Every structure is written in structure tokens, then in C-alpha cells.
């Protein structure tokens, strides 16, 4: 059983040398990919990096036969290409260097030769500088590509967050629609039977359950009064017996009814698993306005009374005159302060 081939990874300095050598010799490099259809010169191109390796290894691709070569393979190709050229040029280079050294050792040199030597030295320094700049340019190019990818990811994420924010804002606007004022109850012309019953009540003693009360239920969000009454009607509640609807605290709704109707309303809503909550509008813990949070409990209790008094006045304003007097007396007893006008 043959062992799988081990991939040889180049170090970062070797990769930098590979970039420089490839850039200098790619025009003369012959592709060894598919010899039947390729064997072309100058067709090698950079083909990204394998980021799954550490350090990331560059890849190369032949534009003619599309063969892909890893960094180690390209290093071998460049070395084999260089060995032929180096072997041919070795003697020439050595001879040239010896010649230059020999010329440099002369005590007296013609001005033209000195000029040529200076130019050669200058070209050598420039070539070294250009090689360093090319390596740095490749690094910057890779960083720029990474930055573009990161920017695209952040823009996509920003787009998603904006969409979520827009959806959330829409929901909040729907839940915070200003509560519609409860219009005065329509006064229908009573029938003769109702007129008789109404007249007779003036000569009756008040019942033991005489008065009004708010019954509080849980509420997911504030809903316009018109929509809430439509929901109550759908649940089977008698809207004509519900005199006022208020939201005295977060996730809490209060329904104002006569004491005689309280039991019917509770039983109707209980059939759909809607149960009342234990809520005291005069409790200072339900004063949620941030500007009151640092006040002592006694002052917050006074503010709770004032807020409940304001809600009571608002309810009385839209109730028929016959009922508003009775309501006013009820609120006086419960709120604990006189209500004017």
C-alpha cells in the first residue's frame, strides 16, 4: 500500500523569493502540464493562494492548458529552468565579474570605464530596490483583497441589521399608536318599557353592589381603543357595559364596568383563558416614568395618586352625565382626593 504524497510547504521567506523569481522568469518558463497540447512558453500566471495551509501557499496556473501547480512544484520548475541558464551563464558571469574586478584594480582607468562601473552599480541597487518593492506590492495586494472581502461582509451585515431595525420600528409604531378617545355613548331613544324601568329606578334603594370598578387584565401591547373594543366584541363581551378602557401600566389594561356587570365580564373572558391580574394603580412601583425613578417612595405614591386621578377625569369626561356623577363619587373614594370639574 503506497503512502499518500506529502505536500511540501514553503516558508514565508521562500515564498517571497518564489514571487520574485517567478516574476523575473515567467516569460521564459515552459509549462510541463500536458505536453501533447501545451509545452508553451510564458503562459504561467498567479492563481491565488491556498489559505487552508500555513503559511498560505501561492498557486500557479497555465493559461493554455489550465494545469495548476502548487508553490513547491513551481519552485522546482524555476530551479530546473535556472540550472540550465545558470550553467550556461556561469562562466560568462564569472568572467564578467573577474573582468570588472580586474578593471577596478587598475590604478588609472579611463573616465568612460568608471562611468560604466558606476552605472552598473546604480542599476544593481535599483534592481534590488525594485525586487523589495515588488514583494511589498504583493503583500499590499493581498491585504487589499482581504479588506474588500471584509468590507463586503460588513456591508451585507449592515444591510441585514437595517432591515431588522426597520421591522422592529414598524412593530413599535403599531404598538404605540395613540389611544383613541372613547366617544360619548350613543343615546338611543328608549322604548316605553325602558323608559318605565328607568323612571322606576329613581325610586329604588341603591343596590349593595352599587358603584364601579376597574378590572385589570394582562395586555401584550397598547392597542387603539377601537380595535380593543372590536376584540372584546369578538370574545363575547358586551361593549355597552364597558364604560372605559385604559392602559395604566406596561402590559396591563383596565376595563371600567359597573359592579353588577363585573362577574359577567370575568366569566366571559375566563372561557377563553383570559384571567384578571392583581394590579393596584396607586402602588408606587407602577410609576415607570424614568424621571420619577430617583424619588422617595412617598413622593412616588403621591404621583401614582395624581396619575390615577388624571385617568379618572379622562374617563368621566366621556361618560354620560347620569353616570359621570356616580363615577365621580366612586373615584373620590378610591383615589382619595377630590376631583374638580
Predicted confidence (pLDDT) at residue 165 exceeds the cutoff of 60: yes
Cell of 331: 373615584
| pLDDT confidence of residue 323 | 61
223 φψ region: left (φ > 0), alpha (ψ -120 to 50), beta (else): beta
Give whole-number Cα distances, 69 to 4, 30, 33, 134, in Å.
Answer: 18, 13, 9, 22
Overall average pLDDT of the 114-133 stretch = 89
Predicted confidence (pLDDT) at residue 121 exceeds the cutoff of 80: yes
User: Sign of the C-alpha dihedral, residues 59, 64, 65, 66?
Assistant: positive
Distance CA(204)–CA(184), nearest Å, equals 27
Q: Is the peptide bond before 55 cis (omega within 30 degrees of 0)?
A: yes
| pLDDT confidence of residue 334 | 64
34 and 13 in contact (C-beta within 8 Å)?
no
Model confidence pLDDT, tens digit, residues 322-336: 565 666 667 666 655
More reliable by pLDDT, 35 or 160: 160
144 pLDDT band (50/70/90 cuts)? very high
Distance CA(242)–CA(146), nearest Å, equals 65
| pLDDT confidence of residue 316 | 73
Give whole-number Cα distances, 318 to 169, 178, 183, 226, 231, in Å.
Answer: 32, 17, 6, 15, 21
CATH class entry, domain 207-335: alpha beta
Predicted confidence (pLDDT) at residue 143 exceeds the cutoff of 80: yes
| pLDDT confidence of residue 305 | 86
More reliable by pLDDT, 97 or 145: 145
User: Sign of the C-alpha dihedral, residues 137, 141, 142, 147?
Assistant: positive
| pLDDT confidence of residue 201 | 65
Overall average pLDDT of the 165-172 stretch = 81
What's the number of CA atoms in the CB half-sphere (13 Å) around residue 84?
Answer: 9
Give whole-number Cα distances, 299 to 19, 285, 293, 312, 331, in Å.
Answer: 78, 11, 10, 20, 21
Q: Which of 32-46, 59-73, 243-257 has the lowest mean pLDDT?
A: 32-46
Secondary structure E strands in the chain: 44-50, 57-62, 68-69, 212-218, 244-249, 252-258
Domain locations along the chain: 12-98, 106-175, 207-335
The percentage of residues in the chain with a pLDDT greater than 70, rounded to a whole number, is: 72
| pLDDT confidence of residue 340 | 46
Residue-averaged pLDDT of the chain: 79
Residue with cell 404621583: 303
Overall average pLDDT of the 34-40 stretch = 72
Amino acid at each position: 500500500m503506497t503512502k499518500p504524497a506529502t505536500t511540501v510547504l514553503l516558508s514565508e521567506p521562500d515564498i517571497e523569493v518564489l514571487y520574485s523569481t517567478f516574476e523575473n522568469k515567467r516569460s521564459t518558463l515552459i509549462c510541463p502540464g500536458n505536453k501533447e497540447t501545451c509545452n508553451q512558453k510564458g503562459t504561467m500566471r498567479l492563481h491565488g493562494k491556498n489559505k487552508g495551509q500555513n503559511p498560505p501557499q501561492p498557486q500557479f496556473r497555465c493559461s493554455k492548458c489550465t494545469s495548476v501547480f502548487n508553490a513547491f512544484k513551481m519552485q522546482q520548475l524555476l530551479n530546473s529552468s535556472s540550472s540550465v541558464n545558470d550553467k550556461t551563464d556561469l562562466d560568462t558571469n564569472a568572467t564578467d565579474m573577474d573582468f570588472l574586478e580586474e578593471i577596478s584594480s587598475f590604478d588609472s582607468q579611463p573616465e568612460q570605464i568608471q562611468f560604466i562601473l558606476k552605472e552598473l552599480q546604480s542599476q544593481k541597487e535599483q534592481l534590488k530596490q525594485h525586487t523589495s518593492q515588488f514583494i511589498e506590492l504583493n503583500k499590499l495586494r493581498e491585504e487589499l483583497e482581504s479588506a474588500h472581502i471584509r468590507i463586503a461582509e460588513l456591508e451585507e451585515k449592515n444591510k441585514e441589521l437595517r432591515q431588522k431595525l426597520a421591522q422592529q420600528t414598524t412593530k413599535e409604531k403599531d404598538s404605540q399608536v395613540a389611544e383613541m378617545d372613547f366617544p360619548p355613548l350613543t343615546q338611543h331613544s328608549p322604548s316605553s318599557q325602558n323608559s318605565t324601568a328607568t323612571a322606576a329606578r329613581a325610586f329604588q334603594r341603591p343596590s349593595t353592589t352599587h358603584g364601579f370598578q376597574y378590572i385589570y387584565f394582562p395586555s401584550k401591547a397598547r392597542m387603539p381603543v377601537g380595535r380593543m373594543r372590536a376584540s372584546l366584541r369578538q370574545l363575547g363581551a358586551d361593549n355597552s357595559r364597558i364604560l372605559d378602557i385604559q392602559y395604566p401600566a406596561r402590559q396591563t389594561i383596565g376595563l371600567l364596568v359597573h359592579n353588577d356587570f363585573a362577574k359577567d365580564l370575568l366569566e366571559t373572558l375566563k372561557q377563553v383563558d383570559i384571567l384578571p391580574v392583581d394590579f393596584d394603580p396607586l402602588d408606587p412601583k407602577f410609576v415607570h416614568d424614568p424621571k420619577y425613578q430617583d424619588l422617595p417612595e412617598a413622593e412616588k405614591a403621591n404621583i401614582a395618586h395624581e396619575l390615577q386621578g388624571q385617568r379618572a377625569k379622562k374617563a368621566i369626561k366621556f361618560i354620560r352625565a347620569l353616570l359621570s356623577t356616580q363615577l365621580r363619587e366612586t373615584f373620590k373614594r378610591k383615589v382619595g382626593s377630590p376631583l374638580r370639574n
